[in-house]
Chain A
Amino acid sequence: MDGWTTLTKAGRQTRLAAAAWAALAVALLTIPLFGDYVIWLTANMLILALFAVGFNLLFSFTGLLSFGQAGFFAVGGYVCALILLALPSLLLGVIGGVIAAGVVALIIGFLCVRHTEIYFAMLTLAFGMMIHSIIWKWRSVTGGDDGLVGVPRAPLEIPGVLTIEMADLARYYYFVLVLVVLGIFAIWRVVRSSLGLTLQGIRDSESRVTFIGLSVMKYRLIAFTIAGLASGLAGALMVPLGRSASPAIANWTFSAEPVIATLLGGAFTFAGPIVGSFLFYIIKEIVVIFTGYWMMTLGIIVLALVLGFRGGVVSVIQDRLLPLLARRHNDQGGDG
């Protein structure tokens, strides 16, 4: 009898989750009906979601806190911008940005993954700021503090197969949507794979992973590179959206955005950073109406969540709200 109760409860939760996903899909697909402002806002949310999910692969699933993810975001963004300014092909720009970010993450990761905890966090912060100063100083290539402006939203072109104009914001939004969903899906598969299990092993106990015969550093480097690729893709998608690349996207304050999104939505869940990214922009847009100190308000909310609800919003829904709904339903249905 108890077994059955759990089963029906689990079934109901699965159905609720499926309904929520379907609603989200419909909402995301119909966004362009609501005008340019909503499109622009949602595209930013999606890009932050991908950025944060990549960060969370390191944070929640490997046990590494990186404060330097903006560096890889910026490498992806600037390389994409440089390619688009030279050669108007969106696909080349995005692929180039992602590869460049991956290579830089591999090199910086090689130097960082020897350390853990605060030492790792400080090293990633330092390397992130190094990328920022290179972008700031290397004026001839990066435009210095002016950044790169007038980046075209070049057409999506596969020679001989198809050419899709991307200048229209709604079209570009769909491009972002598809790539963000693909990117997040790939990371979701990684989390559930053998590789993901190894990473979670490192999170739980490095020494145990060593003594089942695996090199902890090698796997940390793999995770770091995957997170770098995700950051690079997010950056490469961001630049054509705003048609510019500014050094602000390399700054350490920008590295804090995926951290905040993850804490808001909930670490140690896969969906947490995604929910958190949406909340991040919603809170920002609402608070900005009343006060310019939106970061402070956000800080207070994050503080309350971290102190009161360690698992963030997603865990509050999963652990408190859904069981409550299920129980009420059971009481009414009398099948409990």
Chain B
Amino acid sequence: MTLEKGVLTSIIGPNGAGKTTLVNLFTGNLPCDSGRLVFDGTEITRLTAHQRVRLGISRSFQITNVFQQMTLAQNLQLPVLARLGRASRPFARPDRDPDVQAEVESLLSDIGLATARDVRAKALPHGDQRLLEIGMAIACRPRLCFLDEPCSGMNPGERAQVQELVRKLTKMRDVTFVIIEHDMDVVFALSDRVIVMHQGSVLAEGKPEAIRNNARVKEIYLGEDVGA
């Protein structure tokens, strides 16, 4: 399987198809039993998850994963510190580091949460926490970013916001997104390419229109007997 730079790819498929497992293999959350992973000419099969992040692969999680006890600004400071190699400084205050501050402010305005910078993450509504997590994934300055169901549990207005954000970040920050999503409206509106998974393997892949008209894909989504 090849993911191309600049091509926004969506991975779809029924529950249990192996979408999240695939992302876990790419990002190092699960070890590979066989096969090889090559990222931009570098073999990454044996690298740990955090080493892969340093190479430019980041992700968000299906279940919101942010630092609940920290403020929004702190949530974004940490990935920026990590990228700059300053996360282990034992006496330097992160909120007094001008490089970090500038970047955190720009990230906050990108995700539209600048007014909530000093609010603890746990006090935010679900949709805003999801946006924050995308912001944290972007703060790593990835070249490739996996978003695992970024719109899960969101209302239609928030979904539109996420789509807008993904489009904006693709352009402004030169990130290639790979998205797992169940909402077909989001998938077909955003994607350049769609990969359909079923029972652990790739069933079909191609442009969104081609996938929309693919008979096998319709079958697994609508039931085995359709068209028989």
On A, residues with C-beta under 8 Å from B are 189-190, 192-195, 197-198, 200-201, 203-205, 207-216, 219, 222
A98 vs chain B, min Cβ distance (A): 16
Residue-by-residue, is B116-130 near A (CB-CB < 8 Å gives 1, otherwise 0)? 000000000000000
24 A-B contact pairs sorted by A residue (CB < 8 Å): A189-B91, A193-B91, A194-B81, A194-B90, A194-B94, A195-B87, A195-B88, A197-B70, A197-B81, A200-B67, A201-B78, A204-B67, A205-B65, A205-B66, A205-B68, A210-B49, A210-B50, A211-B53, A211-B65, A211-B137, A211-B140, A212-B78, A212-B140, A213-B140
B87 and A211 contact, CB distance less than 8 A: no
Q: Which of B54-62, B171-179, B188-196 contacts A (4 or more CB under 8 A)?
A: B54-62
Chain A interface, DSSP helix/strand/loop, else mixed: helix
How distant is the Cα of A219 from the Cα of B49 in the complex, in angstroms?
A: 15
List 6 A-B pairs, minimum CB-CB distance, nearest first.
Answer: A213-B53, A212-B79, A204-B67, A194-B89, A195-B90, A198-B87
How distant is the Cα of A222 from the Cα of B78 in the complex, in angstroms?
A: 17
Q: Which residues of B contact A192 (CB under 8 A)?
A: 93
Tally of A-B Cβ pairs under 8 angstroms: 102
How distant is the Cα of A6 from the Cα of B66 in the complex, in angstroms?
A: 28
Within 8 Å by CB of A194, from B66, B83, B92, B137, lies B92
How distant is the Cα of A330 from the Cα of B178 in the complex, in angstroms?
A: 55
Tell me the B24-39 residues at the A interface (CB within 8 Å). 27, 29
A200 and B136 contact, CB distance less than 8 A: no
Pick the most buried of B49, B68, B87: most chain A CB atoms within 10 A of its CB.
B87
A211 and B58 contact, CB distance less than 8 A: yes
Q: Which residues of B contact A200 (CB under 8 A)?
A: 67, 69-70
How distant is the Cα of A21 from the Cα of B54 in the complex, in angstroms?
A: 44
Q: Does B48 reach chain A (CB closer than 8 Å)?
A: yes
A212 and B93 contact, CB distance less than 8 A: no
Nearest residue, chain A, Cβ from B27: A211
Q: Does B74 reach chain A (CB closer than 8 Å)?
A: yes
Q: Which residues of A contact B61 (CB under 8 A)?
A: 207-208
Q: Which residues of B contact A203 (CB under 8 A)?
A: 69
14 new A-B contacts, CB < 8 A, other than A194-B93, A205-B66, are A194-B92, A195-B90, A197-B94, A198-B78, A198-B82, A207-B65, A208-B65, A209-B78, A210-B49, A211-B65, A212-B139, A213-B82, A213-B83, A214-B50
A211 and B49 contact, CB distance less than 8 A: yes
Q: Which residues of B contact A205 (CB under 8 A)?
A: 65-68
A195 vs chain B, min Cβ distance (A): 5
Q: Does B77 reach chain A (CB closer than 8 Å)?
A: yes
How distant is the Cα of A157 from the Cα of B17 in the complex, in angstroms?
A: 71
Q: Does B212 reach chain A (CB closer than 8 Å)?
A: no
Q: Does B218 reach chain A (CB closer than 8 Å)?
A: no
Q: Does B46 reach chain A (CB closer than 8 Å)?
A: no
A194 and B70 contact, CB distance less than 8 A: no
Q: Does B167 reach chain A (CB closer than 8 Å)?
A: no
Pick the most buried of A204, A209, A215, A216: most chain B CB atoms within 10 A of its CB.
A204
Pick the most buried of B53, B59, B61, B90: most chain A CB atoms within 10 A of its CB.
B90
A212 and B69 contact, CB distance less than 8 A: no
Q: Does B86 reach chain A (CB closer than 8 Å)?
A: yes
Tell me the B64-122 residues at the A interface (CB within 8 Å). 65-70, 74, 77-79, 81-83, 86-94, 97
Nearest residue, chain A, Cβ from B68: A204
B52 vs chain A, min Cβ distance (A): 8
